[in-house]
Amino acid sequence: MRILVINACPHRGNTWTLTKFVEEEMLKFDSTVEFDEIYLEEISIPFCCGCSLCFRIGHHFCPHNQYIQPIMDKISESDSFIISASCYQGAVPAICKNLTDHLAFLIHRPRYFNKKALAISTTGGVSADSVTKSIANTLHGWGINRCYQLPIVALSWNDYQPTEKHLKLISKIAKKFYKDVKSQKMHSPHIGPLIPFNLYRAMCYDYTPDKEYPTQDGVFWKQYQDMTYAKGIPMPIHKRVFANLVYLIGKKLSPKMIVTYKK
Ligand SMILES: Cc1cc2nc3c(=O)[nH]c(=O)nc-3n(C[C@H](O)[C@H](O)[C@H](O)COP(=O)(O)O)c2cc1C
């Protein structure tokens, strides 16, 4: 099993320490697990400049694609991945937000449907759970099948030592994540991710190459024309009905809210 670890903190501090404990725990369950580490602080990705080329003509045209594409490739090649991000001002650190800004187009054109993820955060006192929740929301938008969360109150500047209670929680979450990845079982998506998926699927017709404001969405969604969610992901009947309803709403709304851009 190959697990990609995206260290989305500006230094190797408390969150990194916690992540190492998770890795050790996973290795206890299966010594063959391989961890491939990315340290965002070593890559120095320039800030997302908001050019929107990823949305309009495709992410390959991002001026920073030389940094972004290798990360996307590593996600694709992994069995699943971990995102590790400290809690700064109740939110993810800028270095993490910069990565997810560069990948914001993924909510328009989701993928990674067979991947599972684990979001890890530490905080001094409060809001580690806000950080892991916000990462989980972002990842569901990317298409990730399930995201586990490990938020921890470290009560420390850079000297985190897990308590007995933390060690138990680390073991429990690491085990759940490992077992789920190992099982290769795909879970039915929550209602949340079905909304953007089916809205974009419906709205793509107004952005095909023959339209006034073509975008990459108009090309991408052809593969999902008759599908309420990605292939191989279980969709019970009530979710299919809901997804089709969202699709119909999207079809109705789309012509009234065409997104323009300067040519
Ligand atoms: C810039 C900055 C902002 C922080 N903001 C918060 C905060 O909003 N709430 C909190 O309880 N702790 C806050 N802390 C403390 C950290 O969340 C805590 O020390 C955390 O474990 C740091 O993880 P790291 O060592 O991986 O960066 C902040 C620390 C820094 C450096």
Tell me what pLDDT residue 213 has: 98
Last residue of a domain, one of 149, 183, 217: 183
As a whole number of angstroms, the distance between CA 66 and CA 55 comes to 17
CATH classification at residue 150: 3.40.50.360
**Would you state the pLDDT for residue 243?**
98
The last residue of a domain, from among 166, 183, 200: 183
The alpha carbon of 202 and the centre of ligand 1 are apart by a number of angstroms equal to 41
Number of domains in the chain: 2
Is the domain of 169 the same as that of 81? yes
What pLDDT score was predicted for residue 170? 98
State which ligand 1 atom lies nearest to the alpha carbon of 89.
8
CA-closest residue to ligand 1 atom 7: 89
Instruction: Give me ligand 1 centre to Cα 196, in Å.
Output: 32
- List, edge to edge, every strand of the sheet that includes 146-153: 34-39, 2-7, 80-84, 116-123, 146-153
Per-residue confidence (pLDDT) for residue 113, from 0 to 100? 98
Give the relative orientation of helices 191-203 and 128-142 as an angle to the nearest 10 degrees: 40
DSSP result, 134-154: HHHHHHHHHT-SEEEEEEEE-
Are 105 and 230 found together in one domain? no
Q: Measured in angstroms, how far is the CA atom of residue 245 from the centroid of ligand 1?
A: 42
The residue from 118, 152, 183 where one domain ends is 183
User: In angstroms, what is the span from residue 85 Cα to ligand 1's centroid?
Assistant: 10
Q: Are 46 and 64 in contact (CB under 8 A)?
A: yes
Q: How far is CA 193 from CA 95, 167, 183, in A?
A: 25, 32, 22
The residue segments making up the domain with residue 75 are 2-183
Q: Give the number of the atom of ligand 1 that is nearest the alpha carbon of residue 84.
A: 26
What is the Å distance from ligand 1's center to 204 Cα? 41
pLDDT at 35: 98
Q: What is the pLDDT of residue 94?
A: 98
Q: What is the pLDDT of residue 110?
A: 98
Closest atom of ligand 1 to 10 CA is 27
Strands 2-7 vs 80-84: parallel, antiparallel or unpaired: parallel
The number of beta carbons lying within 10 Å of the beta carbon of residue 134 is: 20
Pocket lined around ligand 1, Cβ cut-off 6 Å:
9, 13-16, 86-90, 122-127, 154, 157-158
C-alpha–C-alpha distance, residues 65 and 70, integer Å = 8
Q: What is the pLDDT along the chain (263 residues), one digit of tens a residue?
A: 999 999 999 999 999 999 999 999 999 999 999 999 999 999 999 999 999 999 999 999 999 999 999 999 999 999 999 999 999 999 999 999 999 999 999 999 999 999 999 999 999 999 999 999 999 999 999 999 999 999 999 999 999 999 999 999 999 999 999 999 999 999 999 999 999 999 999 999 999 999 999 999 999 999 999 999 999 999 999 999 999 999 999 999 999 999 999 98
At 227 the pLDDT is 97
Closest ligand 1 atom, CA of 12? 26
* Same domain as 164, residue 42: yes
Query: Is the C-alpha dihedral spanning 76, 138, 146, 30 positive or negative?
Result: positive
Please tell me the distance between residue 151's alpha carbon and the centre of ligand 1 in angstroms.
12
Q: Look at residue 263 and tell me if it is in a domain.
A: no
Pair (169, 199) in one structural domain: no
Examine the domain organization and report whether 26 and 147 are in the same domain: yes
Q: Taking a C-beta distance cutoff of 8 angstroms, is the pair 2, 58 a contact?
A: no
Query: 176 and 213 share a domain?
Result: no
Measure the CA–CA gap between 145 and 117, rounded to whole angstroms: 8
Is 142 in the same domain as 62? yes
Tell the residue nearest (CA) to atom 29 of ligand 1: 88
Residues 173 and 223 in one domain: no
